[in-house]
Structure 1
């Protein structure tokens, strides 16, 4: 079966799936920008530095300080932020936690609590907060393992289906094979670079290259497949 000559129900099915995947990928990129990039850009931090902060960490400050200067800082008033940072730099002791505890309860617990139901670390007790008052070493090994296996399984399934549709196109077989292989290569480069960036910040560039390659290859599969189903004319006519 070729995409151009497929029956109308099959074309509609493939089209709905490809458009949904394309929109979903754009939403994922937007979410990544809003959570990981945009908060840091307010401080003049570029995309590469934001990737370094995420995986390698800010090894001159604690994780909590780094977050207060980035994504969470806008939720606290300057005076509150100053009080929390002062508590951290004075040793982050439990004896002095009471004043800053109320700040976390008032400003952070809406999202950072077990009751919120959000996949964010709770910050309501001394034990929970003090875990983030250590030097920022980036994402933990446990976190990298968890996120890596989720992405490898999930994204591989997405490309299995988009590639399965694309291979029915009339693009030259060699180019079809290359465009089927590229997104999987991009997954390995992207996710593998997370681990390497934790050891060496220079690999932050590879993370970006892998992500860009993944997006472009997905777009190419979707656009070419839709073109052949709906726009390409029969050359024999």
Structure 2
């Protein structure tokens, strides 16, 4: 099998376009993670690990609504209105006090948080709906974790199949290539497995961060090295075409 530099120009253009877009997609995913998980919790004096813990373990000492108002929804409502809602929630969210906070939800929340919006967010358009999110936050349900897990297992595995296949054509030392095509799949298992573990014990939140970092580092290598080899001389080439034992047979 020929090396990347020897591929026809059409294939090099195809692989280059794919790798660049995958890299941009990953950067967008990191940006989303920062805006949704990291930044809102930083504003409340919480670090990345604490944000991960809250996302998957919940806050048994806090309601889902309070966690959202202090986290990812903190910038959607002003301080005075937020304090009024939190004060009502901490009193047990009694129906007798609903009328005092109903206008806040109507003006700030209901546009998105209603059954007709088509968004996968809880409705906040009635007292009955609010009661469900003012209860203690236990994190995502088993059903929700199963749904998200299978989507990520399928999707990320396919991405690494494609980037790994291109990377496998590089001239990096064969054993390094083997390590770099296997590690992403181990990281996926560790990452998604730690979601489930963090659900029951927040101490596993650090594994989510570590496995995600390893996954990102390997993806960067699987993108950068083939791009370099397709268009520039590779100073790390370990062999010559046709003499690669990893490609034999």
TM-score, L = length of structure 2 = 0.89
1:103 aligns with 104
1:127 and 1:232, CA in 2 relative to 1: closer, same or farther beyond 3 A? farther
CA offset at residue 149 of structure 1?
Answer: 0.8
1:114-162 CA distances to partner (integer Å, 9 max, x unpaired)? 3433332222122322111111112221211111111111111111110
Match of 1:212 in 2: 213
Would the alpha carbon gap of residues 40 and 107 (structure 1) be closer, same or farther in structure 2, given more than 3 Å must change? same
Q: Specify the alignment match of 2:7 in structure 1.
A: 6
Q: Which moved more, 1:15-24 or 1:77-86?
A: 77-86
2:171 alignment partner, SS class: coil
CA displacement at 1:28 relative to structure 2: 0.5
- 1:134 maps to what in 2? 135
Deviates more, 1:22-31 or 1:50-59: 50-59
Q: Deviation per CA, 1:53-77, whole angstroms, max 9, x where unpaired?
A: 1111122111111211222122222
Gaps of 5+ in 2: 241-249
For normalisation by structure 1, the TM-score amounts to 0.93
Question: Residues 157-193 of structure 1, C-alpha deviation per residue, up to 9 Å, x if partnerless?
Answer: 1111101111111222211111000111111111111
How far, CA to CA, are the matches of 1:39 and 1:161 in structure 2?
34
Instruction: Note the aligned Cα RMSD (angstroms).
Output: 1.7
2:37 is aligned to: 36
CA distance in 2, matches of 1:12, 1:74: 43
The CA distance in 1 between the partners of 2:121 and 2:232, in whole Å, is 45
What is the number of equivalent residue pairs in this alignment? 236
Which residue of the partner structure matches residue 162 of structure 1? 163
Cα distance in 1, alignment partners of residues 185 and 216 from structure 2:
11
- Alpha-carbon distance in structure 2 between the residues aligned to 1:155 and 1:233: 28
User: Displacement of 1:84 after TM fit?
Assistant: 1.4
